[in-house]
Structure formats: C-alpha cells, structure tokens
Amino acid sequence: MAAARRLHHVRLLLLLLPPIFSPWARPASAETPGGAEGRLLCLCDSPKCQEEQCRGTRCFSSVRVGSGGVVFERGCLEGPKKTRLHCSTAPSSHQAIRCCSRHLCNRNTTRSSVMALLPSAPRGEPAGYGPGTLALLALGPLAALTLLATAAALACVRLRRGRPRRLQESDTERGVAAAADGTVGCNSGDDTLAELLDHSCTSGSGSGLPFLVQRTVARQISLMECVGKGRYGEVWRGQWQGENVAVKIFSSRDEKSWFRETEIYNTVLLRHENILGFTASDMTSRNSSTQLWLITHYHDNGSLYDYLQRAAVDTRQGLAMAASAAGGLAHLHAEILGTEGKPAIAHRDLKSKNILVTRELTCCIADLGLAVTHSQADDRLDVGDNPKVGTKRYMAPEVLDESIQTDCFDAFKRVDVWAFGMVLWEIARRTYSNGIVEEYKPPFYDAVPNDPSFDDMRKALCVDQRRPFVPNRWFSDPTLSALVKLMKECWYQNPSARLTALRVKKTLDKIHGSLDKAKDS
C-alpha cells in the first residue's frame, strides 16, 4: 500500500513539472523522414497487425501491465489527433507508450526499455526506499538547479532564433497550445472539452485528460464568479474557450482532500453520466499563494440541497432525480474486472450538498475527497490519507457508535446506502402530491440542533433509534408510499440488512415504470 501511495504521488507530481522535461513528449513540429504526409514504415507485431509492417503517422512501442502479465506491442498510429493524444499521455502504473518518427524506428525497441517509463520502483526493489530512490532524493536539489539552468539556456536560444512559443492565456483564443519550450501536451486546435475527453477515454488515461493536457487547460481558465463556499475552500464558475467549467479551489490546509479527489477522479472507467464529469487538476500560483484546483463540468442548477430549497418537484421529476443519483452510486460501488478495470469505490460523505442537478433535472454525484477504494484482485482496501470524516447529520449508526468494521469494504458501502436514504427523504419532502408539499428541512431537523455534535447524533440514532419524520400525506400517494418503503430499507439499524445501491436503483426504476403504466391507463 505504501508503494502504491508513492506511485500516486509520482503521477500527481507530473502536474507540477514543466512539460519540457517530460521524457515521452515530442515536439509537434518534429520533422519525419516519411515526407510531408508523414507516412512512416513501422514494425508491427500487435495481434491486430495483418502484416509484419504497417504505415502510419508515427511508430510506437507500448507495454500494458495487467493480471495476465506484461503485454508488449509495436505498431503505428494513424492521424494527427490520435498521434497527439497517445504520444502525449503520461505513463500510468499499468501502461506506457513510446513514440518515434523515423522509418522502422520501433524495430530495435525492447520491452524493458518501454517498461522503464512506468512510474514505479524497479522490479525486485523492496517496497521501501531503495538505493536508487535515496540517490534521487540526495541529488534532487542539484538536478533541479541543472534543469532550471538548461531551461534558461533553451529559452535564450529560442528567443535568439525568433521562435518563442507562449502558452495561451485567454480562453477565447485557440485551443490547447504548445508549451513554451516547443513540447506539446496535446494540441487540441478547436476541440471542445467534450471532444477532448471523448478521445482521452479511449487511450487508457483514466476519466480525465492526460496529465500534461490537464496542466495546459487549467492555465487557460478565466475565473468568472464565486458560486459556493465550503469547508474545503471555494467553487468558482470559470471559462475555457467559451465553455463554462467549475473550479473547486482547495485551501492549502486541505491538500489531502485535493490529492485524494484528484487520485479518485483519474481512476480508469470512472466516467459516468451520473458522476460529476472531471476535466483537470492542477496546483497553480496566484496572488503569491499556492492554489489547488480541481476542474469539473459546471451545472448552473447547483447542488440538490440548493435546488430543493428553491423549488418543489412533481413525482416524475423527483423519481428522475432519485434514480439518477442511485445510478451514480451503483456505478461507484461496482468493481469492473479486467486489465482496464475499475476498483469499487465508496463515497463516505454522500449528502444532498454533494449531489449536483443538471439542466435536465437529473443528478450526478460529486466531492470524492473522502472516498475509499477496494480491488478484489489483491483484496486491497485503500482509505487514502485523509483523517476527515463525513457529515454528522448523514452518518450511519455504526459510524456514530464506532462499531463499523473499518477493514471491510462492504461496511463503507452500507454507510453510503444509509446516507442515500436520507437524500430520498429530502426529495420526498419537496415532491408534490395532491397539490401539497412540505418546506425544505434537513434530516433530523426536529431531533438535533442546527449544527449537531457527534454526541447529539449518536443519542438520536443509537440510543433513541430515531428516523426522519414521515408525514401522513405520503402514505396516500402511491409513489411517495413506495419511496417511504424504500428509504426505510436503507435505514435498518443492522447494516447487513440494508439494500445495495444496485437494488435501490432497480427499485426506483420499477417505481418509475409503475408511474408510466398508471399514466397510460
């Protein structure tokens, strides 16, 4: 687990290093001997190859590390967009690619030379700090000075040649531009964020953009207005190339939350319509202070908590909100097996403030800074390095009385289901039936103070075994009555008796189907 933690630190440090020093980046304008059209002859020994040689824009050699071992392939990439995307993607813990631009230049590439790009300790080295790591730490300051001197010299040469390249600062100008020293993270031209993300999801780079592109996008965002504040910092509406994005700015004391959320959002196959779309993460300096940025999709309806205070919903809208949020939670909880799989993820701080409402009045889950992951392959439970706990008002009884099995991943999923039952209750209160609706109130508004303490909540749930108040009118409405039954199955005192997130989703879909049938009849 310690080795994995260092691996994630290495990956995130890529966000902080100038792109010029990236070993896998190549100048966008590099000439190729294949002519203006860039048709290179490359060695091809991939299972997809029909012949021993192929032609393309760039040759490549790659390794993928999975449960079945190491897969080494060589071949060619076709088209400038695909070439930029793959060749600028940083190596991950399980995948690396090396590109070259001369005829048959990948012929002499070996598996070990490409595996050397993987950001992990050398094979056979113990999990602790080996001699190579200690030497790196000792020579770090000297290397940093050397790199700075090299960068200054290169900058002077560029200036003398009259070919300086500048990072674009305005979000209304061209797309992702080349970095200042001639290297490229990903030259996007006029691509939108959606197009960039669509391409990146096919490259094995996780749920967001490649790391170098994340840095470039982050530096071109203009902050427009502050739209929210919380214990972590602030949320701003920003703009990139005319598109709205949300910029979550963490305070320096909450660096662990920023690090963890970045780590989780870069999980392969995390992207889902009911999980907040991740764009980029960066550590930047503004007004002489360091800021930790997390850049995501922007939803102008705000959180479910905000929306329910402003507006009530009809039964169809309420069910759509509940079912979509349940779909996001089910995807989080599910593990996807395979080389490019996804670990199971428990949220640990699910509440209406951490669920956003889209323009279509569906929901997506956000704020993954306290998430915990689990993989069946090695039975590893990763709780991160963040000592914070969830929101007291939404805590399950086993968390409050400290009886939760913290070494069991299923225990964390059951805590999420308890909290989701509270969210269902909030939606039900603001759902019309027979022209009647209650004003918004948070769970246990009638049992604990406005800012309840840990002891307040423990007494209400563990000693008095209280549950949120259910008005009589809900039982006279078939939809709300079905929701009451469902939320109560999320609130069992015994965690193992609670429904799974997938069962909650299927039940909500069934209730929605019954509503449609009633309308048709």
DSSP-assigned letter for residue 467? -
Amino acid at position 271, single letter:
R
**Minimal CA–CA distance to 385: which of 260, 263, 292?**
260
Beta partners for residue 346, in sequence order? 372
The answer to whether residues 411 and 417 touch, using CB atoms and an 8 Å cutoff, is no
What CA–CA distance (Å, rounded) separates 100 from 42? 10
Sign of CA dihedral 357, 359, 361, 365: negative
Is the CB of residue 185 less than 8 Å from the CB of residue 176?
A: yes
How many Cβ atoms sit within 10 Å of the Cβ of residue 464? 10
369 phi and psi angles, rounded to 5 deg: -65, -20
CA distances from 432 to 321, 429, 441 (A): 14, 8, 15
Angle at 101 between CA 95 and CA 106, to 5 degrees: 55
CA distance 380 to 402: 22
Q: Cα separation of 172 and 161, whole Å?
A: 28
Q: Can you tell me the distance from the alpha carbon of 127 to that of 133, in angstroms, rounded to the nearest whole number?
A: 11
Distance from the Cα of residue 104 to its chain's centroid: 38
- Return d(Cα 471, Cα 488) in angstroms, integer: 14
Active-site amino acid positions? 349
| Residue 371 to residue 367: CA distance in whole angstroms | 9
163 Cβ partners below 8 Å, 6+ apart? none
Show the beta-strand stretches assigned E in 109-232: 222-229
What does the alpha-carbon distance between residue 228 and residue 305 come to, in Å, rounded to a whole number? 12
Q: Using CA atoms, how far apart are residues 75 and 53, in angstroms rounded to an integer?
A: 8
